[in-house]
Structure 1
Amino acid sequence: MSTSELSITKRRLLGGIAIAAVGLALTACSDAEDKAASAEPNPAVSNETTASTTSAQIPTADRDVDMEEALKPGPLKEMALGDPNAPVKVIEYMSMTCPHCAHFHENTFEAIKTKYVDTGKVYFVLREFPFPQDTASLAAFMLARCTTEDKYFPFVSMFLKQQRTWAAPSDGDVRNAMLQLSKMGGFTQETFDACLTNAQLAGDVSAVRDRGAQEFGVQSTPTFLINGKAYSGDMSVDSMSALFDSML
């Protein structure tokens, strides 16, 4: 997509009319990944090796990152769970239309939250990473940001669990599907429209993504920055637990 085409897409989104024009297929979890491959979560996305002392699999880090710099807040208030002083610090960059992200949050996140976040061992930060051409993911994140802070994570979870119903509805009306789901999260037609026409918010959410890509090398979702290492791809409860346990 050219710069001029992207600018037009953003203006349409901010005018409240672009969401209905989003394609029927889910956006891939990377710019290079074929859209057809994103129809179902692919366990092979995670780069994992078997730990020598346990049967659980520990993900292999892609690269080192400056965790101190990464933990500095960006243009939006940090959406985080747990103790900021916890020994393990995690930043997840995710897309609301990525099936791998949905798979992680449906199958891994709650167990990890209970086992590590709620017990003070892990500080978990969630950051938005809607790909530049993905107006649906951008809009979903904007709606999550328009809720109250205590509703942010439940709203994101609701949208991920119902990902196909709004990102690829049978009638192709993405905007209406998002509206109906948002009403379950407390929105009205008026607050829904007001949120999606907030140009400042759209720019700030996009800036979170741009910072992740430019400063920390995020290219696909989900990407986890954990104690100075970057890991790309979905993780199981066992593999993430093994990784965390190796750091505690």
Structure 2
Amino acid sequence: MANNKENKIKESKSSSKFTFWVIGLVAVCILAFIFLNNQSKQQGKVKTNEIDYSNQPFLGKESAPVSIIEFGDYKCPNCKNFSEQVVPIIKDALVDTGKAKLYFMNDSFINVDSIRSAKFAESVFQELGNESFWKFHDRLFAKQPEDPAAEKKDVFTENFLIDTLKEVASDTEVEKAVKNFQAEKSDDAWQKDMDYAEKLGVTGTPTIFVNGKLFTGKSIDDLTKMVEKAAKGKKNE
């Protein structure tokens, strides 16, 4: 199954019809790629102004007219795949072209590691800023254990997270982020994400929203069309 998934990803890179909802599901994250059935009833119910994007990490230009949200979990294998294989394509097609911003919000549902790593990442964002957050974010997914059984194990310990941050930040910066985390200053930001995940009916990760509406397409073309439609809607407001 793993080989089939890799082949699909390689093939998709050369196609404008890149299908990024890959059928290669792992354990508890199986909901991530069948969310179409679980969440279709939510589509169209959420308006853009019902989401507060302030103080959220994002990729792209602040002036971009459309906001894409990925709800993810740092322990989710499908989120790792999405981060490494799909986000670069979204970045090239929509973010770098100025069409959209890509936000990351937490839906920490797998185990205590999910919560701990999400809160730590929020501390990195609060203390070190957007650029450092994304460096840490990418490193954390890159270091996700390949063993599916590790999903339920306590792997992302505080020491592990500190060591990971040291790979992309100075000792002084690390100290600032750790103090923030240990003082639980990032808890509210994490809870804000979790509240939105519940409000929007997120049932698995990764789940994508475009200007507050659930993305139910299957290809980068589908996402591009939804972004373009959302941009036209903003102009007509």
TM-score range, shorter chain: 0.5 to 0.7
Distance in 2 of aligned mates of 1:109 and 1:180: 25
**Cross-structure match for 2:136:** 155
State which of 66, 70, 76 in structure 2 corresponds to 1:98: 76
Structure 1 vs Structure 2 CA RMSD: 3.5
Distance in 2 of aligned mates of 1:113 and 1:36: 25
Runs of at least 5 residues in structure 2 that lack an aligned partner in the other structure: 1-24, 229-237
Higher mean C-alpha displacement, 190-199 vs 63-72: 190-199
Letter in 2 for 1:71: I
Greater helix fraction, Structure 1 or Structure 2:
2
Letter in 1 for 2:165: S
Q: CA shift at 1:190, angstroms?
A: 5.0
1:168 aligns with 2:150: yes
**Cross-structure match for 1:71:** 51
Taking a change above 3 Å as real, the CA distance of residues 83 and 179 of structure 1, as seen in their structure-2 partners, is closer
Letter in 1 for 2:143: Q
Greater strand fraction, Structure 1 or Structure 2:
1
Structure 2 matches for 1:203-242, cutoff 5 A?
203-214=188-199, 216-231=200-215, 239-242=219-222
Distance in 1 of aligned mates of 2:212 and 2:72: 18
Paired residue total? 193
Distance in 2 of aligned mates of 1:163 and 1:124: 22
State which of 21, 24, 27 in structure 2 corresponds to 1:37: 27
What TM-score comes out, normalization by structure 1 length? 0.63
Taking a change above 3 Å as real, the CA distance of residues 165 and 179 of structure 1, as seen in their structure-2 partners, is farther
Q: CA shift at 1:120, angstroms?
A: 0.7
**Cross-structure match for 1:200:** 185
Distance in 1 of aligned mates of 2:166 and 2:179: 14
State which of 162, 178, 189 in structure 2 corresponds to 1:179: 162
Among the aligned pairs, what percent are the same residue? 21
What TM-score comes out, normalization by structure 2 length? 0.65
**Cross-structure match for 2:224:** 244
Runs of at least 5 residues in structure 1 that lack an aligned partner in the other structure: 1-34, 49-59
